[in-house]
């Protein structure tokens, strides 16, 4: 193996792809069912095409189109693929019923909604992102402005908010009554050692135990990528992040190469689920590079999923030694072929597609059969 400092980009990609293919990076074997699922995801492509996480297929109340429908309409009208996917995810960011993105997103542990987003534009090879942005419901729009109006890629926290204000964005309270209620339930129920009481607590005896339970944090995001009829590619990932997180926590969504990566010569990839796992493995970048080396989008997603599972630290593994969290990867190639992989099976192991066959939801390939105990 050459010294790391001497590895050029091509050598790194060839070495990594060969190691994954040979199993030297992985201690896990695919089950026959998993292999069949991956094989089923090797589809021929057509352009234009839009893919997204499953929530991109939802049509919010009062809206005439879903995320993937809106994005496709813009592509068909000749619009830029980045404008298309941003307009698509804005529908989800504006939807108060989606508690994983934008308005109505579940807050941090202090009850404040903090949003993250990244965008990449294949034709110009540029990117922009914001993280820990408060009070602005469309972080994807701000991320695009970071890309087009600054010499930076990532702006965070108070700086991101000042930047958004400077460009005319209006601040608002992003907590809906529903997300506020969910946060209060968490505050009242996640610990026996504080002074927050749930409505079921015994206020006469002062008992905090009634109604207490171990609270499961939730992940949620939307990733959306598109290829236009000319083969130009763009992508966006936007999220309110891990529910009830430590204030200032940033996951993979605004990190280029983790929650999103686009290469106009190859394709695009994005993710939803446990952001820390993607951050530790540069997952979206690796998916695209495996596609560059010849893997189909579905194969690339599954190879990276195996790598993540193999590298999961012991405290995050369940009784059988498998990751006790969920994660999904989505990928589309320049030719319009596409695929997705989930760590676990289950009703949420699906993704959204819109191409010449229309808008629909398709199943993800999956690495492990779920028993329902994993955090989704």
Q: For the chain, give me the number of helices (H) and strands (E)?
A: 10, 13
Helix (H, G, I), strand (E, B) or coil at 338: strand
Q: What is the largest CA-CA distance in the chain?
A: 70
173-176, Cβ contacts within 8 angstroms, sequence gap of 24 or more: 173/135, 174/102, 174/103, 174/104, 174/105, 174/107, 174/113, 174/115, 174/134, 174/135, 174/137, 174/240, 175/104, 175/107, 175/111, 175/113, 176/96, 176/103, 176/104
Bridge partners, 136 (sequence order): none
Instruction: Out of 16, 34, 221, 238, pick the active-site residue.
Output: 221
d(CA 2, CA 108): 44
β-strand partners of 202: 207
Output the CA–CA distances (angstroms, integers) from residue 241 to 100, 114, 305, 319, in the order listed: 7, 8, 20, 27
Q: Which residue has the tokens 């908010």?
A: 161
Instruction: Write the CB contacts of 198 (distance below 8 Å, at least 6 apart in sequence).
Output: 185, 188, 189, 210, 211, 212
Name the CA radius of gyration of the chain, rounded. Answer: 21
Q: How far apart are CA 376 and CA 372, in angstroms?
A: 9
Alpha carbons within 13 A on the beta-carbon side of 168: 2
Other CB atoms within 10 A of residue 27 CB: 11
CB 354 within 8 A of CB 227: no
Q: Identify whether 16 is a catalytic site residue.
A: no
**E-state strands within 37-82:** 49-53
Report which secondary-structure segment, H or E, holds 146: helix 139-149
Which H or E run includes 300? helix 297-310
Catalytic residue set: 221
């Amino acid at each position: 193996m050459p010294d790391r400092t001497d590895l050029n980009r091509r050598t790194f990609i060839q070495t990594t792809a060969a190691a994954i293919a040979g199993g030297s990076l992985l201690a896990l074997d695919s089950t026959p069912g998993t292999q069949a699922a991956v094989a089923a995801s090797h589809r021929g492509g057509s352009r234009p095409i839009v893919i997204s996480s499953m929530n991109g297929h939802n049509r919010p109340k009062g809206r005439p189109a879903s995320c993937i429908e809106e994005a496709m309409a813009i592509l068909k009208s000749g619009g830029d693929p980045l404008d298309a996917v941003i307009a698509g995810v804005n529908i989800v960011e504006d939807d108060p019923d989606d508690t994983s993105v934008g308005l109505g997103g579940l807050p941090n542990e202090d009850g404040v909604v903090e949003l993250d987003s990244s965008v990449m534009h294949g034709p110009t090879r540029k990117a922009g992102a914001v993280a820990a942005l408060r009070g602005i419901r469309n972080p994807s729009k701000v991320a695009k402005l970071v890309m087009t109006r600054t010499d930076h890629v990532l702006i965070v926290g108070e700086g991101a908010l000042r930047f958004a204000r400077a460009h005319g964005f209006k601040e608002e309270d992003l907590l809906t009554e529903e997300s506020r209620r969910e946060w209060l339930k968490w505050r009242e129920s996640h610990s026996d050692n504080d002074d927050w009481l749930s409505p079921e607590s015994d206020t006469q005896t002062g008992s905090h135990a009634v109604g207490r339970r171990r609270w499961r944090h939730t992940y949620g995001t939307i990733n959306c990528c598109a290829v236009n009829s000319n083969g130009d590619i763009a992508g966006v990932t936007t999220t309110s992040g891990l529910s009830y997180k430590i204030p200032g926590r940033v996951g993979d969504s605004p990190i280029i190469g983790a929650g999103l990566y686009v290469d106009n010569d190859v394709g695009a990839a994005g993710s939803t689920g446990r952001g820390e796992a993607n951050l530790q493995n540069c997952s979206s970048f690796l998916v695209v590079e495996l596609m560059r080396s010849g893997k189909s989008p579905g194969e690339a997603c599954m190879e990276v999923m195996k790598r993540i599972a193999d590298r999961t630290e012991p405290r995050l593994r369940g009784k059988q030694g498998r990751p006790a969290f969920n994660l999904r990867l989505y990928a589309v190639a320049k030719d319009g072929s596409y695929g997705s992989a989930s760590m676990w099976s289950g009703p949420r192991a699906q993704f959204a597609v819109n191409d010449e066959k229309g808008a629909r939801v398709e199943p993800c390939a999956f690495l492990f059969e779920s028993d329902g105990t994993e955090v989704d």
